[in-house]
Structure 1
């Protein structure tokens, strides 16, 4: 079984996700106590896609988020660096002609400048070896006036809620993982990556430094996750 570490070596992370692909969505639903579905709905609404637009869904995994976006009538490129995840995505959603699956490195996207009306990434940015470079690449491939939406685990601002969440990560989630996941060790890394990820304001600053404008964020589920949004200047 593969387990990545916080060096986030791309080959290690990719191999780890290849192994967990078949039960990845089920495990996420169990670990989030069903909140992953709510977060997906909120993210899709924040993207605001409409028919005729072209959306890049980066770190799309098994394509569940891409299918949600495609439901708006937009065309979606589901990009991920894990061949196993993409294979599972094609198996589940390959019949949806508005979704195309592409293997891609978030730090070196194989797309032209100004290609997408909106770019989004959900629960994948913290797994990128150089997230600042990925944010800059997302700016490059987004059209002027286009949107970026990032949904990622974050830091609850309330001290009591943050303490309860830490208890859940350390004590409860490992038990649930061993019941639901095909590779429980992989989720040790995922827990570590959540705890090492910067808080909301720091991620917002990374976006501004990359060139995104009108950057704002809102907390979901008390700050367990946060939705960051930005616009590419026209």
Structure 2
């Protein structure tokens, strides 16, 4: 699967991530020119977890994104639908309770998490709106949501350079560091097809999240979206 589509088949996407699991974190650091770590830090600051809180980290892959929450004293549950990623994560971080799960049908009870986050994975979910509703279902009333995802640069010249990098420079770089460079062609195209900041905010609101806002990182190459669960899934 090398062509991006917003009608994604979960088994195909999971297989793609299984194939790149071993070098995924390294490849991301190279392709982002080292920005990945800064973006993760911004997520941790935005989520602002406290000791004893329960945090769900969706699309956690090898669990690298979960480490700041665990270090802050939160009961952190990394969750991903790629078994290959989870196996690799278990080797690296055996202390983390890595959990297999589909973002559209989470294996958790209602209202059990103080905070939910997902970084660079929402665009790979085959039903974005269902995933946003599921995140709200498992969040406690007043629970916090932070989404970190590639977005649309706000400065036109940067947008042009960024698009050229994605489609021309990224594939050859991926070939030099990744076990499956075709996967990164898919990922580049999925970034181009993803809704802009305002459109994603509207989808959060449509899923029942309140107080929705976003903040651009790196000129809008990445955006952090935030929301809060006003109550039970039925709106109480």
TM-score normalised by length of structure 1: 0.96
Judged with a 3 Å threshold, the aligned counterparts in structure 2 of structure 1 residues 4 and 83 are, in CA distance, closer, same or farther, namely farther
- Separation in 1 of the partners of 2:124 and 2:65? 17
Q: Which residue of 2 aligns with 1:206?
A: 203
> 1:31-59 CA deviation, whole Å, 9 max, x = no partner?
00000000000001111111100000001
Deviations 1:129-181 (A, max 9, x none): 00111000000000001100000000011111101101111221112101111
Distance of 1:191 and 1:119 partners within structure 2: 25
Would the alpha carbon gap of residues 91 and 169 (structure 1) be closer, same or farther in structure 2, given more than 3 Å must change? same
The alpha carbon displacement at 1:69 in A equals 1.4
Q: Which residue of 2 aligns with 1:177?
A: 174
1:4-56 Cα deviation digits (max 9, x unpaired): 74231011000000000000000000000000000000001111111100000
Q: Secondary structure at the match of 1:33?
A: coil
Does structure 1 retain, via aligned residues, the 8 Å contact 2:167–2:185? Answer: no
Q: Of 142, 152, 157, which aligns to 2:154?
A: 157
Flag as ranges the 4+ runs of structure 1 deviating above 3 A.
Answer: 2-5
Map 1:127-146; keep pairs closer than 5 Å: 127-146=124-143
> Which blocks of at least 5 consecutive residues in structure 2 are unaligned?
232-236
Superposition CA RMSD, Å = 1.0
Q: TM-score, normalised by structure 2?
A: 0.95
Cα distance in 1 for partners of 2:2, 2:166 equals 17
Number of aligned pairs?
230
* Aligned equivalents of 1:46, 1:90: Cα separation in 2: 26
Q: Write out aligned runs for 1:1-234 (5 A).
A: 3=2, 5-6=4-5, 7-94=7-94, 96=95, 99-234=96-231
CA distance in 2, matches of 1:74, 1:68: 9
Cα distance in 2 between the residues matched to 1:202 and 1:20: 30
